[in-house]
Every structure is written in C-alpha cells, then in structure tokens.
Structure 1
Amino acid sequence: MRIGIVGTENSHVDHIVGHLNVHDAGGDARVVALSGGRGRRNEALACTGGIAEIVDEPADLLGLVDAVIVADRHGSHHRDQAIPFLAEGLPVFVDKPLACTVDDARAIIDTALAHDAPLASFSALRWIPDADALAARSARGGPPHVVVTSGPADPDGEYGGIFFYGIHPVDLALRLAPGEICDVRTDTTDTTVTASFTAGGTRVVVNFVEPTATHQIPFHGMTFTQESMVQQTLALDANYCVPGLEAFLEMARTGRPPIGYTDLLRPIEVLEAVTDALRSR
C-alpha cells in the first residue's frame, strides 16, 4: 500500500514514517510520497524513511499513492486538502481535527459518501490502551449518566484555536457518550474553558485548561454510571499514534471506516459551538 502525506510539519508524521518505513511495522504499507516541496523538513523525513517522491502540491500525489494521510496542523486547511483524494475514491485519514467548521466537515463527509471513498478522522487518544481501559471499566457499570474529560488546550492557539488540542478530550468524551449533541454551553475563567452539553441521554462536561510555557495538565476521563464511578489518567507513550494508524490501515485495506460518519461530525459540532461562544465574548 503506497501512502502519501499532506501536511508534514506535524510531529505525528514522524511517528507514521518511523512505524511504517523505519520499523516496517505496517505490513505492506509504506509512505512513498510527501507534498509540500523540498524544504528542510521534507528532505529530513525522506532521508529517514527512504521516501523517493517529494511533490509541491497535494494534488500532485494523485497517481503516486493508494491512500492519503492529511496531517496539516490547521484544520481549516483540511477540506481543500482531503476532497481531491476522496473525489478519486482513495481512502483518506484526516488527522485531528477533521475540520474547524461543521460546514467544512460536512463537505468532506459528503464527498466521501458521493465517491464511496473510505474516510477516517479522530484523536489519537481515542485508541490508546488507557482509553480502551476507561471504556471497558465504565461499560461494566452500564450506560454512563455523566462523562467528564479534561485536557490542555489553548483557545488562542495558532492552529485553529481550541480545535487543535481540544479535539482530544472531546473525542474521548464522545467515544464514551453516544448520541445527538444538544445544548452546548461554554463557561470560562482566566485559564480554563468548560463545555457542557448532552450527548444522547448523557451529560458531558469537557474541561480545557490552557497550558503554560513549561507545563500542561494530563488528559483525564471519568464516567458516572448507575453502579460505579470510573476514572483514568491517559498516558501517552512513544507509540501513542500507532493504534490510530493501524485503524486507518485496516480501513484502507477493507474499505470499512472505524467510526461512523455521524460520529466524525459530533466533535466538530461541539468545538464549533465553543469557538462561537468564545468569539462572541
């Protein structure tokens, strides 16, 4: 499987190239082409991974690859970057977030559906062992009445504000709380943003804590069911991107997306509502 990458400044690309090309741990999958031209970053990745093709524009990858990873840090670019490949029926993984507006997210999903192109997008946290453990322990107590997640996020960050890191605790929360998003409320302090809403029948609270120059809070999840309270701090090891990468590779091989397309839209709905509330203030 020949994989091309769009948006190579993201540190996740180092994990992907290392796993697939350096360690040969992805079966027949290898990164064979990068877009963005022959800058220092792409030259270094090509040297590390033995990648022969570096092209200038994302569309130049067409004909060179069988699947595409869109890893640009800024979600507002993802619509234009992903749609040309989906329109050709290629499997596409859009690294978090899918987009920075619901309209852009819907356009990406609609293109995937129209051309029968498998599409995935998620936070890497969704698939790590600590997230699996939290979900499994919570499920033993029945459906959650309340889900609370927390993580670092900067509402003024240069890569789409709260979308860039905020997608992590939101996606984790929505893994645990299925259902339609309703009544998003946003509250703030000098250092925090809190989104509270309902997802189906579950009350969800997501805390975004602004990082400092030297420290950020860990990711954390907690559920309250009829029978139990379960909590878990989520640790990110050197291989935290691998489970999500393997989910994408499985999709590319089978054509079956790991997450339903409605669930791709839900975190964008939450974060757009939070962004709108912050902007209005």
Structure 2
Amino acid sequence: MKNDVSRRGFIKTTAMASLGIGMLGPQTNFFEHLSTSQKGKRVGIIGLDTSHATAFTKSLNGENPDPKFKGYKVVAAVAQGSKDIPSSIERVPKYIEEVKKYGVEIVKDIQALLKKVDVVLLESNDGRVHLEQAIPVIKAKKTLFIDKPIAASYKDAKQIFDLAKQYQVPVFSTSSLRFMEKVKEVKSGSIGKVLGADTFSPAALEPNHPDFFWYGIHGIEILFALMGTGCESVTRVHTEGTDVVVGKWNDGRIGTFRGLRVGKHDYGGTVFGEKGNTTLGQFRGYDSLLEEIITFFETGTPPVSSEETLEICAFIEAADESKRQQGKPVSLIKA
C-alpha cells in the first residue's frame, strides 16, 4: 500500500512538473527570440519616461505583432530620460517593469545599448537631453528616430541634423498626430490643394521648455503636415487657458494653431481645400507612427524632412517671441 501511494505521488508530481514546463515553455520560447532577433532589426530605446516607449514595445514584442512591423523587436533600453522633471522621473520604475515583461533588457547607459542594437528610438520626454543622447547614436551610425520634440530649441535641433548629415546617418523626428488618417487623406489630395488650416491640441506648459516644445508641438505638427513649409511669420495671442498662433505662409496662405489648457483634452482641426473643406478625425493611437518608423528603418528615407522639422522649431520660437512682444508679428529663423 505504501509503495502504491508513493507511486501515485510520483506520477502526480511528474504530471504537475510536466504541466509547469508546458506552461513555461511557450513563454520562454516567446522571449528567447528577442536575444537572437534578426540582425538589422534589433531596436533599442533611450528613455523610459513616456508612454510612447511602452506602447511601441507592446506593438513590436507582443505575441502576434502586425506583419507591417516586419519583425523588428525591442531588445534593450536605457531607462533614464529627463534628469529633473518630476512627472517624467516618476514614470520610470513603472515603465521599466512594463517593458521587462516583453523581454527587454535594461542596460546601464547608451554605450552599452549601442552594442546590442541596430536602430534606436530616442523616447526621452525631455527635449533638452535629446542632443546629448543623440550624439553617441549618430556617431555609432545607428539609424535614429527622435520622438517629439526633436529638441528644446532650434539650435539643438539644427546641431542634431548637422551631425547626422556629417556622419550620413538617417534621422527624423515627428509627433504621432501627423499620421492621423484624415491628415493622410488630405495629403493624398482628397480636397485638392490645401488653402489653409486651423488645428488644435492640448498645450500644457512645462517651465523648462519653450511653451510649445513640450506639448503644443502635437497640433503644430498637424498644421505643418497639412500646410507644408514656407511659413514666414507668426502672431500669437496668449491667455492662461488658451493660445492662438496665426502663421502667414510665403504664398499668402494662413494657418492657425489653437493650444488648449482648459476643456477637453483633444486633437483635430479644419482644413480648407480647392475642392472642399474637411474636419480632422480623432487620434487613434501610435501604430500609424510606428509603421512609418519601421519603413524608415528599412529604407533610411525619413517621412518628414529635416527642413520641415527645423521650420516647426522656428515657428515655436517665433511664437514665444511674439508672446514676449505682446502679440506682435515675428519672422521665423531661416536656416
């Protein structure tokens, strides 16, 4: 009887162990492929202080990633983003744990990251650190996407692009709002030539950044996606809860941006075209931007030119100067 009990116990234990291995096996195999990801498709992240970093990781490293992401996987990340913005620093521990669930290795610094990856997503929420963080990536000749804002000044943004040109490294920066479906339709000619546009987005202020580099850049990116380059001057009206910036383009067109700090947190606008007018739909997540980034990693061709990104920076700085001058028109810096 005793031997029979022992035998049954052995069978039960073995069965449970087999079940445990069976349950762990797929998960282990799922993450094993990250360390052996196809060379050329190993993604590194700099800065785990923004939800963009976790959103991109989930899309690329999930169990059934969309084929449009072409097998790219996040394999390593450097946690530090902002050095002194509390709202950013507080997110880091949570986001470290989130990306680790998807098999991402946390490394101590950018140099360690560069040894493990082929391409880089610079995700730090704080634009002031982007130049410092981009320099080693560019010098290592790693194709680089820089999430908005590219920097916290026109000067830093230009230095990034100048260095990228010197080292012949593809670099681009944008907001995800540029790739809203309705924006893409308008750019494809749905209403003919764009004659003007009024866009809006939240425009929370952060004391270490020029006003719109922090958040208003989202709505300004939409404006430039629709209008293109060629803005000559801006005029800004500022109140505690709202900003309105009117841009005059060199062909006589007018584009406006409304920055919101009260009311509903929302994005959108109205576009005026030769064939009709249209309103912009809702923002539906980051995958449309991620698809553009993956295509950029594959081709080395940026979907947004450095000239346009620099003009956006010049627009933001001119808007700040107009505010300082009580709403007087201010011309944009020309590269």
Q: Normalising to structure 1: TM-score of the pair?
A: 0.88
Paired residue for 2:74? 31
SS in 2 for 1:97: coil
**For 2:325 and 2:108, how far apart are their aligned partners in 1?**
38
Q: CA deviation at 1:19?
A: 0.4
Paired residue for 2:46? 6
Paired residue for 2:283? 236
- Gapped runs of 5+ residues in structure 2? 1-40, 81-91, 327-335
Paired residue for 1:16? 56
Task: Check conservation: 2:54, 2:95, Cα contact below 8 A.
Answer: no
Match of 1:44 among 84, 88, 97: 97
Match of 1:223 among 271, 290, 305: 271
CA gap 1:20/1:228 in 2 versus in 1, 3 angstroms? same
Residue 104, structure 1, aligned to residue 156, structure 2: yes
Task: Check conservation: 1:196, 1:205, Cα contact below 8 A.
Answer: yes
Task: Check conservation: 1:42, 1:54, Cα contact below 8 A.
Answer: no
Q: CA deviation at 1:280?
A: 6.0
CA gap 1:99/1:258 in 2 versus in 1, 3 angstroms? same
CA gap 1:246/1:140 in 2 versus in 1, 3 angstroms? closer
Q: CA deviation at 1:164?
A: 2.1
Q: CA deviation at 1:98?
A: 0.8
Q: Percent identity?
A: 24
Paired residue for 1:268? 313
Paired residue for 1:163? 213
Paired residue for 1:151? 201
SS in 2 for 1:229: strand
**For 2:155 and 2:43, how far apart are their aligned partners in 1?**
27
Q: How does 1:151-230 map to 2 (within 5 A)?
A: 151-156=201-206, 161-201=211-251, 202-211=253-262, 215-230=263-278
Count of aligned pairs: 271
Query: Of the two structures, which has the highest relative contact order with CA contacts closer than 8 Å and spacing of 6 or more?
Result: 1
Residue 197 of structure 1 aligns to which amino acid in structure 2? Answer: G
Residue 273 of structure 1 aligns to which amino acid in structure 2? Answer: A
**For 2:106 and 2:234, how far apart are their aligned partners in 1?**
43
Q: CA deviation at 1:200?
A: 3.8
More helix, by proportion: 2
Task: Check conservation: 1:7, 1:70, Cα contact below 8 A.
Answer: yes
CA gap 1:157/1:246 in 2 versus in 1, 3 angstroms? farther
Q: Normalising to structure 2: TM-score of the pair?
A: 0.75
